[in-house]
Structure 1
Amino acid sequence: MTPIASPRPRPEPVRLDFPHTEPPVAGKPMEVAPGILWLRLALPYALDHVNLYLFEDAGGWTLFDTGLGDDRTRAAWDELCGTLLNGRPITRLIVSHAHPDHVGMAGWLHERFAPPLLMPRSEYLLSQLLQRQRTPEVEAGEAAHYRACGVGEEDVGHLLKRGLNYLTRTTGLAHSNRRLASGDRLSIGGRDWRVITGGGHSLEQAMLWCEADRIFLSADQVLARISPNVSVYSMEPQADPLGGYLDSLAELGAMVGEDALVLPGHNLPFRGLPRRTAELTEHHALRCERLAVACGEAPRSCAELVPVLFPRHLDPHQLGFAIGEALAHLNHMVSTGTLAVGEGGDGVLRYRTL
């Protein structure tokens, strides 16, 4: 399918303020604010890193996110336990959301230090669910979901194999969890933090806001250089995560000022969050406009619309994210009355512009 031109040109990227022009060397933390260490660990993806944050706290460290549960990350944590921590334990573990690059080492760290685990309830339960062995019924449901999106049988087979990745890139979870909910207050490292949660990239991603010191831990909800993946999955095929994500961006843009230091889950720390949330909102509006043009020409399946948003070759790993992201935009447009969806005799859902 020939990529569809945008109905209006893409705006120039906004200018953000970066207090650090270079990240820390992987596994070698640096102080990013008084009492807060920025730790970067490697990932085996195109997005090749994840940011974690350590807070000097009473009797030890509070850790925000864990890294991927693979051998390279285990080796990095083994070294950190002998150097950075210097005999001081991790006394509290905060996990922002259930994606394996953020929760992957939670089980390993629990075995080592037994810190209390703090996670949003839905993120904790989702991670527990995904760490169970896959059943034939689960795979059959996923296959039916991809077929309804118009995915061919060969690609369906490739996409089903992606589900095994979660089991190999996580190390379990503590049996109990202290629920993090929006509006909760935490005292960490002598600062008062407010918990903010937001949907879209995950179900109920936790972020931390210290209004007094103007520091905001955004996890993956707002990143400086990339748009977080916002996807629909087979367990809830008619969900509208993009609507939740746009609501979250509006809330954050109004709450967190231009002067706040944003500590994200990927990319560099920055200032200028309202500029970035406005840019991300516009980014998704342009994507919806491109889909509306394509679906105005003829009814199209989700798989047929993937090249409209991703006009490049995609490997199976990237294709799974692309289908989920395209479907998130399509579901949002159906919910807002921009598109209609119908099922043909072949069982494939197709979308047309109203």
Structure 2
Amino acid sequence: MNALPDALRFPYEKAPAPGEVTKVADGLLWACLPLPFRLNHVNVWLLENEDGWTVIDTGCVTPQIKKCWEKLLADPMRGEPVRTLIATHGHVDHIGLAGWLVDRFGSEFVGTFGEWVWARLSHTRDVPGSNTEHHRFMRGHGFDDAGAELMLTSRHRFIDMSSTIPGAITEIRDGEIIRFGRRDWRVIVTRGHAFEHASFYCERDNILIAGDHLLPKITPVIAVYEMLPHADPLGDYLDSFAQFADIPEDVLVLPSHGRPYYGVHTRIRQLQEHHTERLDATITHLRKPQHALALSKTMFPHVEGPENVGFALGEVLAHINYLVHDGVVGAVSDEHGHVIYESLA
């Protein structure tokens, strides 16, 4: 999640204050909600319809965010109803208040099926086998029992910041054209940061609502989790860039974190270069065989707190799994049951 060089153009000097908005196009407003994480904000997009509003993403359940929503709903949304709620993906900062808003307005809930299912699983405490598998995963990658339990407790904090995920969804799929905010949008579904992340491109107005997929200043978390321990999300993420090839460089990109920007293909090149550098570093460090937790402490030396340690581990495993799939890194188990990785090149 390191910062990258700034070669993009930013049309807005600062984000709107909590509970306020910035107009980015006719009937399209930008609001910024405060988050209780290291990544301290999330952008949400408010689009005016003929009979109310479409909202894209929600923030999570905190008193401060609910207070911001009350202010937004009263003004500038003029007390008009949220007719449609769209989730770019199922992470808690994007979907955590979905149930609260849908229940309040009877909104249609829209998103990809994979992210809806993932959110319903990951935001529920008592999914059979989930805690046991999470503990086994952490132990296998270098944690002792106490450390694995601490990571599990940390995960529960995220679960507690979500309202009930809506029980039904209007599914969207890659390539579909859907209409909201008085515009037609092409749905772009990608893998990598999430299993079925949705972005939205309006060709007429040259606007791309990019969610977390193409952030301007940081790289989105590309991580391996216990549900799919052998997955290759980094390969999926790098492959996804081809889906944006026909979008103009001067598209206005509306990201979920950071300010809107111009320069989508410049940003894609930056992200590709970043991950190439991290892959090269992973190969170098794994010339000394070690488990993933040890490598994460080398690759992310300043990370503190169980939540961020968990993200660092997941990121390191994403790079490791990419190299394992490529045959560049191999794995064996040691006498403690840890998976030890080693460069084969």
Shorter-chain TM-score bucket reads over 0.9
127-136 or 307-316, larger mean C-alpha shift: 127-136
Are residue 283 (structure 1) and residue 274 (structure 2) matched? yes
The structure 2 residue matched to 1:98, chosen from 81, 90, 94, is 90
Distance in structure 2 (CA, Å) of the matches to 1:114 and 1:224: 34
Q: How far off its partner does 1:135 sit?
A: 5.4
Matched ranges for 1:265-276 at <5 A: 265-276=256-267
Corresponding letter in the other structure for 2:338:
V
Corresponding letter in the other structure for 2:132:
A
Q: What residue is the counterpart of 1:7 in the other structure?
A: none
The structure 2 residue matched to 1:108, chosen from 100, 104, 114, is 100
Structure 2: 5+ residue runs without aligned partners?
A: none
Contact 1:194 1:210 survives alignment (8 Å)? yes
Task: Determine helix, strand or coil for the equivalent of 2:23.
Answer: strand
Contact 1:70 1:170 survives alignment (8 Å)? no
Are residue 137 (structure 1) and residue 129 (structure 2) matched? yes
The structure 2 residue matched to 1:262, chosen from 246, 253, 257, is 253
Distance in structure 2 (CA, Å) of the matches to 1:250 and 1:147: 37
Q: What residue is the counterpart of 1:244 in the other structure?
A: 236
Contact 1:14 1:276 survives alignment (8 Å)? no
Q: How far off its partner does 1:316 sit?
A: 1.0
Task: Determine helix, strand or coil for the equivalent of 1:108.
Answer: helix
Distance in structure 1 (CA, Å) of the matches to 2:223 and 2:249: 28
Q: How far off its partner does 1:98 sit?
A: 0.6
Distance in structure 2 (CA, Å) of the matches to 1:319 and 1:136: 25
Consecutive aligned runs of 4 or more in structure 1 exceeding 6 Å deviation = none
Distance in structure 2 (CA, Å) of the matches to 1:135 and 1:81: 34
Task: Determine helix, strand or coil for the equivalent of 2:199.
Answer: strand
Are residue 55 (structure 1) and residue 34 (structure 2) matched? no
Task: Determine helix, strand or coil for the equivalent of 1:86.
Answer: coil
Contact 1:24 1:38 survives alignment (8 Å)? yes
Contact 2:193 2:223 survives alignment (8 Å)? yes
Matched ranges for 1:109-258 at <5 A: 109-134=101-126, 137-252=129-244, 254-258=245-249
Q: How far off its partner does 1:146 sit?
A: 0.7
343-352 or 259-268, larger mean C-alpha shift: 343-352
Distance in structure 2 (CA, Å) of the matches to 1:113 and 1:313: 40
92-101 or 344-353, larger mean C-alpha shift: 344-353
Are residue 302 (structure 1) and residue 260 (structure 2) matched? no
Distance in structure 1 (CA, Å) of the matches to 2:153 and 2:317: 20
Contact 2:23 2:30 survives alignment (8 Å)? yes
Distance in structure 2 (CA, Å) of the matches to 1:269 and 1:174: 29
Distance in structure 2 (CA, Å) of the matches to 1:223 and 1:211: 20
TM-score in terms of structure 1 length? 0.93
Q: How far off its partner does 1:335 sit?
A: 0.5
Task: Determine helix, strand or coil for the equivalent of 2:210.
Answer: strand
The structure 2 residue matched to 1:86, chosen from 78, 88, 108, is 78
Contact 1:119 1:180 survives alignment (8 Å)? yes
272-281 or 185-194, larger mean C-alpha shift: 185-194
The alpha-carbon distance between structure 1 residues 330 and 186, as it changes in their structure 2 partners (threshold 3 A), is same
Distance in structure 1 (CA, Å) of the matches to 2:228 and 2:321: 11
Task: Determine helix, strand or coil for the equivalent of 2:58.
Answer: coil
Q: What residue is the counterpart of 1:326 in the other structure?
A: 316
Corresponding letter in the other structure for 1:183:
G
Q: How far off its partner does 1:136 sit?
A: 7.2
Task: Determine helix, strand or coil for the equivalent of 2:262.
Answer: coil
The structure 2 residue matched to 1:352, chosen from 335, 342, 345, is 342
Q: How far off its partner does 1:113 sit?
A: 0.5
Distance in structure 2 (CA, Å) of the matches to 1:89 and 1:318: 37
C-alpha RMSD over aligned residues: 1.6
Q: How far off its partner does 1:137 sit?
A: 3.0
Task: Determine helix, strand or coil for the equivalent of 1:40.
Answer: strand
- Aligned residue pairs total 343
TM-score in terms of structure 2 length? 0.96
Structure 1: 5+ residue runs without aligned partners?
A: 1-9
